[in-house]
């Protein structure tokens, strides 16, 4: 049992027992060692600063984590989705901002390699393998028009590349990423019948002239994701950095992959909160007078609440990991998309509720002294509440209910 998991007993498996390949397991064990020795010390400080977790990401690079999802044919491990979700969850148990930065990188590596120009695959792999490149994301915008899916322009430069102009928000991981992945709209490629043909993925090195990272992220939680705004002003993206072939992306299950990742990170936040709370109860909480026990951890009321929170989080963990296997099966066999989407909606729902409840109720377990700012326990709820707002969980319930009542299947979309 690793140090990180000791407070949770046997609630989730030790990495040595997880359903991973030996190579995947070795990376997870290396990551957990870094979590315990380095990232845990950075987490509260980075949260307070509200800026990119520079030290934590640098500490993780030697583990091989950022190369693992590259296919074996390109020099990576070809790690499966169970590996990815296990890592996201375990990172979130210590620092959920670091987990989300890795989440974005991992999803981009898995996705862009599927629809980028053929020559780009080895180029991206080389950047990641030899230069430890980390990918960040700049996609969301504050508004859109009826004529195009987004306002950021990607104008052909006549040499196979593009000139990019626009403003992006919620740019997770991009503030200090080596390469920023962004979508622009190429009106010259779009048609009235197929406007998505104008969607163009562009890979832009962070230090490219015309890229302005505003570092204006000022929010309740997930503060160290540094997901502020970025302006692209007449930015040149040459042909060698074009990230997609028009009409080839995004993938029909892209949204499902990142929904599964959100469920994993939320579950990890809840587990991390419970782990800290149980340790606090054992070592610092005072027993309530009418409990008639010598130690707070022997109070049957606290035991009951702890057990209920643990049961919900264990259920969330199990559901999340089952979606990992479904993702791998879907990608290998291209099966029924609805059979992938609906279980992921269920996992997101359960993770959402289990995480928010655990992060709120841990203070009832620990007692009044737990709200002291020196402990920083508030970050668990702040992070869970912020991440849970990425898209409304009630729409996951609508998807499930609509399917059960009318046999409707979710269509591919940005969030479903």
Supply the pLDDT for residue 197: 81
CB contact at 8 A, 222 and 97: yes
Supply the pLDDT for residue 19: 82
Round to whole Å and give the CA distance between 312 and 403.
Answer: 24
Q: Is 122 exposed, middle or buried (0-12, 13-18, 19+ CB in 10 A)?
A: middle
Cα distances (angstroms) measured from residue 331 to each of 254, 257, 346, 413, 415: 11, 11, 20, 17, 19
Query: Cis link prior to 250 (omega < 30° from 0)?
Result: yes
CB contact at 8 A, 146 and 110: no
Supply the pLDDT for residue 245: 86
Supply the pLDDT for residue 144: 62
Supply the pLDDT for residue 416: 79
Supply the pLDDT for residue 148: 59
Round to whole Å and give the CA distance between 239 and 348.
Answer: 38
Please enumerate in sequence order all residues whose Cβ is within 8 A of that of 197, keeping only pairs 6 or more positions apart, or say none. 189, 190, 191, 246, 247
- Give the N- to C-terminal CA distance of the chain in Å, as an integer: 37
Supply the pLDDT for residue 18: 74
393: its two tokens:
């969980």
pLDDT tens across the length of the chain (416 residues): 455 455 566 777 777 677 899 999 999 999 999 999 999 989 999 999 999 999 999 999 999 999 999 999 999 999 999 999 999 999 999 999 999 999 999 999 999 999 898 888 999 999 999 999 999 999 999 876 555 578 999 999 999 999 999 999 999 999 999 999 999 999 888 876 777 788 899 999 999 999 999 999 999 999 999 999 999 999 999 999 999 987 777 888 999 999 999 999 999 999 999 999 999 999 999 999 998 999 999 999 999 999 999 999 999 999 999 999 999 999 998 778 999 999 999 999 999 999 999 999 999 999 999 999 889 899 999 999 999 999 999 999 999 999 999 999 998 888 87
Supply the pLDDT for residue 147: 57
* Secondary structure of the chain as H, E, C letters: CCCCCHHHCCCCCCHHHCCCCHHHHHHHHHHHHHHHHHHHHHHHHHHHHCCCCHHHHHHHHHHCHHHCCCCHHHCCCCCCHHHHHHHHHHHHCCCHHHHHHHHHHHHHHHHHHHHCCHHHHHHHHHHHHHHCCCEEEECCCCCCCCCCCCCCEEEECCCCCEEEEEEECCCCCCCCCCEEEEEEECCCCCCCCCHHHHEEEEEEECCCCCEEECCCCCCCCCHHHCCCCEEEEEEEECHHHECCCCCCCCCCCHHHHHHHHHHHHHHHHHHHHHHHHHHHHHHCCCCCHHHCCCCHHHCHHHHHHHHHHHHHHHHHHHHHHHHHHHHHHHHHHCCCCHHHHHHHHHHHHHHHHHHHHHHHHHHHHHCHHHHCCCCCCHHHHHHHHHHHCCCCCHHHHHHHHHHHHHCCCCCCCCCC
Supply the pLDDT for residue 224: 96
How many residues does this entry show for the chain?
416
């Amino acid at each position: 049992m690793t140090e990180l998991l000791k407070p949770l007993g046997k609630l989730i498996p030790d990495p040595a027992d997880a359903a991973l390949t030996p190579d995947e397991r070795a990376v997870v064990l290396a990551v957990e060692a870094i979590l315990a020795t380095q990232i845990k010390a950075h987490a509260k400080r980075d949260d307070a600063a509200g800026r990119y977790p520079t030290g934590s990401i640098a500490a993780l690079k030697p583990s091989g984590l950022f190369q693992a999802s590259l296919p074996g044919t390109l020099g990576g491990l070809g790690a499966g989705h169970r590996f990815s979700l296990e890592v996201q969850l375990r990172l979130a148990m210590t620092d959920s901002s670091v987990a989300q930065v890795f989440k974005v990188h991992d999803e981009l590596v898995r996705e862009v390699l599927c629809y980028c120009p053929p020559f780009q695959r080895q180029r991206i792999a080389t950047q990641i393998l030899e230069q430890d490149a980390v990918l960040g994301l700049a996609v969301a915008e504050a508004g859109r028009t009826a004529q195009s899916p987004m306002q950021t322009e990607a104008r052909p430069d006549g040499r196979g590349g593009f000139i990019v102009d626009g403003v992006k928000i919620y740019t997770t991981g991009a503030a200090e990423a080596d390469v920023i992945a962004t979508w622009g709209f190429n009106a010259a490629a779009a048609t009235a019948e197929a406007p998505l043909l104008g969607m163009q993925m562009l890979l832009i090195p962070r230090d490219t002239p015309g890229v302005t990272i505003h570092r204006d992220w000022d929010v309740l939680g997930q503060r160290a994701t540094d997901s502020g705004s970025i302006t692209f002003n007449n930015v040149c993206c040459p042909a060698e950095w074009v990230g997609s072939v028009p009409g080839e992306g995004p993938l029909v299950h892209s949204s499902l992959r990142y929904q599964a990742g959100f469920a994993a990170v939320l579950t990890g936040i809840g587990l991390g909160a419970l782990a800290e709370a149980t340790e606090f109860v054992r070592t610092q909480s005072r027993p309530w007078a009418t409990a008639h026990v010598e130690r707070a951890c022997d109070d049957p009321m606290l035991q009951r609440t702890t057990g209920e929170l643990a049961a919900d989080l264990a259920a969330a963990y199990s559901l999340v990991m089952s979606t990992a296997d479904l993702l791998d099966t879907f990608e290998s066999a291209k099966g029924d998309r609805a059979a992938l989407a609906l279980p992921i909606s269920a996992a997101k729902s359960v993770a959402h509720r289990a995480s928010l409840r655990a992060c709120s109720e841990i203070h009832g377990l620990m007692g009044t002294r737990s709200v002291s700012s020196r402990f920083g326990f508030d970050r668990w709820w702040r992070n869970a509440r912020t991440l849970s707002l990425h898209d409304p969980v009630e729409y996951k319930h609508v998807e499930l209910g609509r399917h059960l009542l009318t046999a409707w299947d979710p269509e591919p979309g940005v969030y479903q």
